[in-house]
Structure 1
Amino acid sequence: MGRPRPLVEPAPLPEYTGAATRENFLTALLDRCAHRKGRTSGPVARRARRPGSLDEVWASLPFPLAAALTEHVEGVLPLVGTIAGRSPLLRAGRAGEALIVSGLFTPNSSLSPRVASFRGHVEGSEVVMSGAVSFAALTADAALSAVSLEGRSHVFLLPLADREAGIGRAERIELRLPPDHLSAPLSWGPGGLAASAFEAHARAFAPGACAAALRALGCLRRALTARNSASGVLSTSQLLAHEVTRTEITAGLAALAADTPTDPVAALAACTGVLDSVALLAQEFVGAGMVDESSLRTDPDWDPSWTTPSVRVHFGGRRMVEGELAHRMGLLPATG
């Protein structure tokens, strides 16, 4: 048997296997995230009601957790369905009992998720692989990663059970898997399953992420105003006021593009640019003491994640998204 099956790309398994509704599925994922020794930073939810849709996820949960759930539902599940194996981890991911993040956006010199971060070859009855993976999550049970085998790309699940919480990059991973733990070959061409899952993930991520960025900017503006009561920061420093306003305008335009995307990857590129700008602004304002931190802490819309790298690394970061957009526009050589 030795070689992965030269299959035609199959249809994914039905979403949410083992969960009757999307609300039940999201609740199962949230419970799993909370169970992992409570390793999320801050409360799991900022509001009392459990979210039953991805819109509610983005409105009620901290950015990293909302992004991880969106990634699992829209970016991971369609591709997990192409793996024929029946491992416990695979079943748990399909049922919402394990959180699976995407390692498909591990940065590379081609600036494209089409380039697999693992290389593999068949050795006896196993596929031997080596490579690296990076992912953006507070905590996860597994990462969906890609391996190049005989010139074709396959996905597989890389267990992360022993990793501590936090954004991770693991280098020089070596592992052996049976062929049925790999998917059928996946296509990044137009209409291919990998490209379709990427676009669906982008469509689901960008509106919520842009809305979260606008909320963060509102918090920063209010905190500047609070500091103004003592020192006049917002009124006397027109530079700070201009920077917040300029970023709000850019974020608003990106949010509009994300809500009605004609090209989800272009909308995602605008969104990740906004995430970069808002995160850097938050880090600068908070780090330099330009805002009243006590006002931020008491603001119900403030998410401390904006002062960390966690909001800037999704989809491999802004450069990876811009690179993939350039590939699609024919500005960079085709890969994958």
Structure 2
Amino acid sequence: QRVTQIADHVDVVVHKIDADNVSLVKLKEHAEETATEQARMQDLIDDLDRHRGTMQERFSKCEAQVALCQTKSDQTGELESKIDSIRLEISERIAWSLDRIKDVQEDCDKLQRAISWDLERVASGKVREKKDLAVARITKPRGAVMRRSDQTDDGEDVEPEYTKRPASVGEVALGKRPDLDVVGGQGFQRATVGIGSVVSHEMSISKMRTGQRRKPKRSTRWEIHQSVLQGIIRAFSMDEESNIGVAAEKANCYELKESVWDASLLLGYSKLGLVSNALLLLGFMINILLQSTFCYLVLYLPHIGDSYTSDGIEDFRRWYRNTS
């Protein structure tokens, strides 16, 4: 019995020893795992240190980029302010230019009316010299000092520049022609002309004749000789600009246009040659054919049956909706 107890006790001790061995093996494995985890943690710490240096470099680069962007934003703000000021100046310049263009257009319209009045006088034969034209009197350089050429044949002085005349309805003062150079902020004098201003100009000249110099009377034969001599001098000294005869001829004549109808007037002219006459005849016949075809189409349109009915109009609207 005693031996049995000892054997049981030995078995218990052996089981404890086996259990302790198993626990020791587990402890060793746990120690190895702990060592492995520590090695991994150390590797992670080393990696974090390396990444910290890289992140610091990137952060410094980002700070430099932020500073550069801030500088660029400041420059952009300055540029935007400059652009706004330039846009404002451009808008003001455009408005000023539009006002000036409007004034110049009005002046051109008034000058055109004066030119038409001169053409009417030329066509009626009331103009004999260049100085009789209202446009010539308006556009000539005017000064306070009278020139010899501004005096009439009877010794009458023409009105000097900037002579104050009472303004009436349809009359404006004659001044300098406007300078067309666009300069910001500069004013310019408006040169406006009209029929009333031209008439008032002549009336003012006729009123100034009260204080003119008196010449001794000459005989009728002397006056005839002087008029003939002055006519010959004008005929030889007449330039292209003051050639009233050419102006009257242009005003009373029709100028040929670059069209087939006007060119057909020369059909059959022998000096043009056979080929030119053949081409001219061909173009004339083709033009007649085209005009006749167009007239036929225009006359045929009202006779189309279904084009102007309600069904035709509805079909046209449906086609227009599908194609647009």
Please report the TM-score for the alignment, with normalisation by the length of structure 1. Answer: 0.16
Answer 1 or 2: higher relative contact order, Cα 8 Å, separation at least 6.
1
Larger radius of gyration: 2
Q: Normalized per residue, which structure has more helix?
A: 2
Please report the TM-score for the alignment, with normalisation by the length of structure 2. Answer: 0.17
